[in-house]
Amino acid sequence: MTNSYTDGTPSQKVHWEASGYDQSMGFVSRYGEDVVQWLNPLEGERIIDFGCGTGDLAAKIAESGAITYGVDISSEMVDRARAKYPHLQFECADGATWQSDYEYDAVFSNAALHWMRDAEGAIASMVSGLKKGGRFVAEFGGYGNVKQIVEAVRSVLTEEVREDAFVMPWFFPTIGQYGMMLEKHGMEVRHAILFDRPTPLENGEEGMKDWLRMFGEAMFPNANVQDAERWMNAAVSKLKQPEAALYADGRWIADYRRIRIFAVKC
């Protein structure tokens, strides 16, 4: 189901608490609706939602009349997507090795590709069945994404454990880096932007802790429950400092930076 690097670290997060994701991280799909407009799905098109999560954007794409297939590495996410949208097709597969036995008109991805540290493998998979002239539309974490959050966790682990206890679970490329990989796999980049998107977190005072529980524990994947809780609390304390500018009046804002790309199969 997943690849690992030589140190045994998973190449991407596999297991998710899917119901909690829907409840506390609903902003992920809401922001992704704008990316669907870039895709401009048409009736009768076959479209892959790559890293579909719990299926909300696959369902949004399907409203156009497109034939939509969702692919995700997490069985928990796929099970929830199937329960929510039984009329759509969802498949549990590793994005770095997935292959289709059919052609499709477009591939769409939102907030998923930065989890796939084997970016070359993911691109090869995504475009493997893409028709000539087919579209690739994606948004994901770009260079500098959640920089302050990452540095706070790295600092806590360095102080309390050792520097090599920290794992970087994401690939946040520049436009140039990702564009070159797409071109290597026969894609022509038509539009690409890297932009800051400060993102308000839900649940008020607990927003950053919720974010770390859902996403940030991937930075210390082998921690026991007690250590993980202590490290998250310490990271939250660092991020509450005024110089971080992520917390004010009981609300958190995550320092997101996103890449959005539109490319076409040559």
Cβ-count burial of 199 within 10 angstroms (0-12 exposed, 13-18 middle, 19+ buried)?
A: middle
pLDDT digits (tens, 9 = 90+) for 71-82: 999 998 899 999
Question: What pLDDT, on the 0 to 100 scale, is given for residue 244?
Answer: 83
Categorize the per-residue pLDDT at 130 as very low, low, confident or very high, splitting at 50, 70 and 90. Answer: very high
pLDDT digits (tens, 9 = 90+) for 104-115: 999 999 999 999
Q: Alpha-carbon torsion 48, 168, 213, 75, what sign?
A: positive
Token representation of residue 242: 């005024």
Categorize the per-residue pLDDT at 17 as very low, low, confident or very high, splitting at 50, 70 and 90. Answer: low
Q: Is the pLDDT of residue 13 over 60?
A: no
Q: Kindly write down the DSSP assignment for every residue of 122-161, as one continuous string.
A: HHHHHHTTEEEEEEEEEEEE-TTTTHHHHHHHHHHHHHHT
The backbone torsions φ and ψ at residue 140, rounded to the nearest 5 degrees and listed phi first, read -160, 175
When the pLDDT of each residue in the chain is averaged and rounded to a whole number, the result is 88
Question: What pLDDT, on the 0 to 100 scale, is given for residue 3?
Answer: 40
Q: Is the pLDDT of residue 254 over 50?
A: yes
pLDDT digits (tens, 9 = 90+) for 131-184: 999 999 999 999 999 999 999 999 999 998 876 789 999 999 999 999 999 999
Residue burial 235-248, b: 16+ Cβ < 10 Å; e: rest: bbebbeeeeeebbe
Element (H, E) at 39: helix 27-39
pLDDT digits (tens, 9 = 90+) for 132-144: 999 999 999 999 9
Cα angle value 49/36/80 (rounded, 5°)? 45
**At a CB cut-off of 8 Å and minimum separation 6, what does 214 contact?**
16, 17, 20, 21, 24, 25
Element (H, E) at 59: helix 56-62
Categorize the per-residue pLDDT at 65 as very low, low, confident or very high, splitting at 50, 70 and 90. Answer: very high
Q: Contact, 82 vs 111, CB < 8 A?
A: no
**CA atoms of 191 and 85, how far apart (whole Å):** 31
Can you tell me the mean pLDDT for 26-47? 80
Question: What pLDDT, on the 0 to 100 scale, is given for residue 246?
Answer: 95
Fold observed for domain 18-145+170-200+256-265: Rossmann fold (3.40.50)
**CA atoms of 215 and 144, how far apart (whole Å):** 16
- CB neighbours of residue 144 within 10 Å: 15
Return the domain boundaries, the chain: 18-145+170-200+256-265
> What one-character DSSP code corresponds to residue 179?
H
Residue burial 118-130, b: 16+ Cβ < 10 Å; e: rest: bbebbbbbbbebb
Question: What pLDDT, on the 0 to 100 scale, is given for residue 1?
Answer: 30
SS3 at position 106: strand
